[in-house]
Every structure is written in structure tokens, then in C-alpha cells.
Amino acid sequence: MATALAFSVSPVLAAGGGWNGNGGGALRTTVGADLAAEIRKVSVALRLGWQHETADAARPMTVSFAGAPDNGFTVFAATPQRDSAVLGLAGNAQVAEAVQLYARYDGEMGGGTDNHALTIGLRMTC
């Protein structure tokens, strides 16, 4: 079983081809732990953490299309929570020499604004 303490800083900038804008950035810090184990041909991983949003959480974003820079508009996106719990669980099983089954759950829970993602798949290599 492997254990690691984790710290990350994730800047998110609002930019894209075809539009211009400001006010859509974020800066998140995460502190937590990663645990991993492998039993026979099955590996599992667990991630627990606390995430803190340090940027303006109100998130109004003023944007305009590149073809019409003088016609801007403001978008009010969903307001993220300032603090949230981060949970991740992943599993990977070798079912044949070149075949693996995998599943992964990632969640962010914080005061009414929750995000959940589940990925399940089959990986085959030649």
C-alpha cells in the first residue's frame, strides 16, 4: 500500500479561440492524501482532500466574440463553493493479458454545489 500527501494549485483561465473575455478565472488549492494498493491483478486508489477557491467566487464573466469585439455581454455562471471536499476512487483489473477493466469516480462536495463524474471502461492493447 502506497500513501502520499498531496498539495496542488490549479489556475483556470478564461480564454478561447473565437471569443475574448475577462472575469472567468479561478485559483484552487487542494490539500489531501492519495492512497493506493494492488492485490493480485487489481489495483485501487483513493483520494481524499479539501479544496479551497481563492479567486472571486461570484464568477461574472464579460465576453465578446472575436468578430464583434464591441458587442460584449456578461454571463453569470454557477457560483462554486469557497470550500469543498474532494473524493476520488479508482479501480483497475487485469482480466486477460492485454485486457483491463477500469472504473473511476471523482466527486467534489460543498454546500449545495456538488460535481460528480463516473468513468467506466475497457482497455485493450495490441
DSSP code per residue over 87-113? EEEEEEEEEETTEEEEEEEEEEE-TT-
Q: Global pTM?
A: 0.68
Question: pLDDT value at position 68?
Answer: 81
- pLDDT over 90 at 117, yes or no: yes
Per the listing, cell 498539495 goes with 7
Q: Is the dihedral of CA 72, 73, 74, 77 positive or negative?
A: negative
Could you read off the pLDDT of 22-58 as tens digits, one per residue?
555 667 788 888 889 998 889 999 999 998 887 766 6
Question: pLDDT value at position 60?
Answer: 72
Question: pLDDT value at position 71?
Answer: 82
